[in-house]
């Protein structure tokens, strides 16, 4: 099978993998990087099918571009499709707001909604003589690894997590000849999840007890729901704002993709959802904790809440994950300052950072790769792939392809 990464080989973002065998062209993911300005993968050629691993925009954001040109079916779990549609519409709003040319139009998003074809975990389909099976990736609800059986077997992981979280169960290895594996956290380890949750909860209690307010910037897809599950039911007044509100209700419509739909439903009932300006005022005045987008503080309601506590030393902004270089959240962590729509202000509130990643760590990736027993491993979607390659090269043939490079396995 021949391959070419259109994006996302040597860095995180804009992932797109073109695979070709016997004249059949398949595209696995086609995302964008929501930087300012946004970054896009190389233009995709005409393909026969598009397989979407999950809804995050670095995997799904450019799918309407493909659909609008090639009238192609998009294969995904149903919950991935529902969430991806929300994010695609949001990309149009953000493009318009920030003044960047949109990569596609509203009619293209509408066309994409009709192009989705659903697969559940364990389902297999025939694609031009190739048998393709969906497996849970453990990353967010509905996230999928695709196993392709032809003359050899191939496993495209998308993003994976090998530990259970409060929201979803972990992925499991799949035996394969060729493992095409993400490497987002190559060279980095996560803290013990339960111990880290306890540390976070103790910090929240300390801040609230001294009369402060806690702002939790959180990605709307996956992280917001994880934070709701962790914090709800502990006696705090919690408000949730931003995209995570709607995504939470979408997840409840697809309980089979959640570790415990009943626990998520109960947790959501225990928080207050911001539904307008008046609710934002109530949240700002009364909340102990506000969970809100955006997770990297580049826009959304989080900046309004942060502005209101920026001079309060008793309050805190608790960052829940990695902050990409060049983002407002990264600026806050490194300098203690935030850019409020062109005005940079010093933040007197406390800033703490935690690691609630939904990605497998360096050692987890090694363990997963070994359990898949491949002949060859292709490392993608990471800016430190060399660290992972160094620990795997004595056991496996390793490829580190670059964007635009054609290779055959």
The CATH number of residue 266's host domain is 3.40.50.10890
Q: Among residues of the chain, what percentage have pLDDT more than 90? A: 92
Query: What pTM was estimated for this model as a whole?
Result: 0.95
The last residue of one of the domains, among 337, 353, 369, is: 353
- For the chain, the average pLDDT equals 96
Alpha-carbon span 345 to 306, nearest angstrom: 11
Are residues 220 and 291 in contact, defined by beta-carbon separation less than 8 angstroms? no
pLDDT of residue 299: 86
Residue 323 CB contacts under 8 Å (≥ 6 apart), including other chains? 296, 329, 330, 332, 333, 353
Residues 41 and 162 reside in one and the same domain: yes
Angstrom distance (rounded) from CA 379 to CA 160: 13
Question: What is the C-alpha to C-alpha distance for residues 226 and 200, in angstroms, rounded to an integer?
Answer: 13
How far, in Å, CA of 19 to CA of 50, rounded?
10
Three-point CA angle 234, 237, 240, nearest 5°: 105
Are residues 183 and 197 both part of a single domain? no
Number of neighbouring beta carbons within 10 Å of residue 401: 19
What is the C-alpha separation between 84 and 56, in angstroms, rounded?
A: 7
Residue 313 has pLDDT above 90, yes or no: yes
How many whole angstroms separate alpha carbon 160 and alpha carbon 368?
A: 10
Structure tokens at 190: 């996560």
- Asked if the model's pLDDT at residue 325 lies above 80, the reply is no
* pLDDT beyond 90 at 22: no
If asked whether residues 270 and 144 sit together in one domain, one would say no
Give the pLDDT confidence score for residue 19 in this predicted structure: 97
- What pLDDT does 186 receive? 97
**Residue 247 shares a structural domain with residue 316:** yes
pLDDT tens-digit series, residues 150-191: 999 999 999 999 999 999 999 999 999 999 999 999 999 999
Strands 24-28 and 16-21: antiparallel
Domain identity same for 138 and 22: yes
Rg (CA), the chain: 21
Residue 388 sits in a domain whose CATH number is 3.60.15.10
Instruction: Tell me the mean pLDDT in the region 186-197.
Output: 96
DSSP secondary structure code for residue 39 in this structure:
B
Domain count, the chain: 2
- Say what the alpha-carbon torsion angle 33, 38, 41, 42 is, to the nearest 10 degrees: -170
Could you give the dihedral angle defined by the CA atoms of residues 62, 142, 161 and 230, in that order, rounded to the nearest 10 degrees? 110
Q: Does 227 share its domain with 247?
A: yes
Whether residue 100 has pLDDT greater than 80:
yes
The answer to whether residues 221 and 157 belong to one domain is: no
The number of residues in the chain equals 409
Same domain, 140 and 273: no
Q: What is the pLDDT of residue 201?
A: 98
Q: Both 72 and 213 in a single domain?
A: no
399 has pLDDT over 90: yes
| One domain, residues 120 and 151 | yes
- Two tokens at 308? 């209101």
Peptide bond into 383 cis (omega under 30): no
* pLDDT at 36 (0 to 100): 78
For residue 10 the two structure tokens come to 């040597």
Per-position b or e across 331-341, b if 16+ CB within 10 A of its CB = bbbeeeebeee
CB 365 within 8 A of CB 358: no
205 lies in the same domain as 343: yes
Domain stops at, among 318, 338, 353? 353
Instruction: Output the pLDDT for position 341.
Output: 87
Indicate whether 38 and 80 sit together in one domain: yes
For residues 164 and 183, what is the distance between their CA atoms, to the nearest angstrom?
Answer: 19
More confident residue, 96 or 393: 393
pLDDT at 342 over 90: no
Domain that holds residue 309: 193-353
């Amino acid at each position: 099978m021949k391959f070419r990464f259109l994006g996302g080989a040597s860095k995180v973002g804009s992932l797109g993998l073109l695979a070709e065998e016997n004249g059949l062209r398949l595209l696995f993911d086609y995302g964008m990087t929501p930087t300012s300005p946004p970054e896009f993968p190389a233009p995709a050629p005409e393909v026969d099918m598009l397989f979407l691993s999950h809804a995050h925009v670095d995997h799904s954001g450019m799918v309407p571009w493909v659909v609008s040109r090639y009238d192609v079916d998009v294969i995904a779990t149903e919950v991935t499709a529902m969430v991806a549609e929300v994010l695609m519409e949001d990309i149009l709003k953000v493009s318009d707001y920030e003044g960047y040319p949109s990569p596609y139009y509203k009619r293209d998003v509408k066309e994409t909604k009709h192009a989705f074809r659903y697969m559940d975990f364990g389902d297999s389909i025939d694609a031009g003589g190739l048998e393709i099976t969906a497996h849970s990736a453990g990353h967010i609800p509905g996230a999928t690894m695709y196993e392709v059986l032809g003359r050899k077997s191939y496993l495209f992981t998308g993003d994976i997590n090998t530990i259970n979280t409060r929201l979803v169960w972990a992925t499991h290895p799949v035996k394969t000849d060729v493992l095409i594996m993400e490497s987002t956290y190559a060279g980095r380890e996560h803290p013990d999840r339960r111990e880290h949750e306890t540390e976070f909860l103790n910090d929240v209690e300390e801040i609230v007890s001294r009369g402060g307010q806690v702002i939790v910037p959180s990605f709307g897809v996956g992280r917001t729901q994880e934070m709701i599950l962790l914090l709800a039911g502990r006696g705090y007044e919690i408000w949730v704002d931003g995209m995570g509100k709607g995504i939470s209700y979408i997840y409840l419509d697809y309980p089979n993709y959640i570790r415990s739909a009943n626990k998520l439903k109960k947790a959501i009932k225990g928080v207050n959802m911001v539904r307008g300006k008046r609710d934002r005022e109530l949240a700002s005045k009364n909340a102990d904790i506000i969970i809100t987008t955006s997770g990297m503080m580049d826009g959304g309601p989080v900046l309004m809440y942060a502005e209101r506590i920026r001079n309060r030393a008793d309050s805190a902004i608790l960052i829940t994950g990695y902050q990409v270089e060049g983002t407002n959240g990264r600026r806050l962590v490194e300098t203690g300052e935030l850019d409020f729509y062109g005005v940079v202000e010093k933040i007197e509130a406390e800033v703490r950072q935690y690691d609630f990643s939904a990605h497998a760590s360096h050692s987890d990736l090694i363990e997963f790769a070994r359990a898949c027993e491949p002949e060859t491993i292709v490392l993608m979607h990471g800016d430190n792939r060399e660290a992972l390659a160094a620990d795997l090269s004595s056991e496996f043939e390793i490829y580190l392809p670059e964007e635009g490079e054609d290779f055959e396995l």
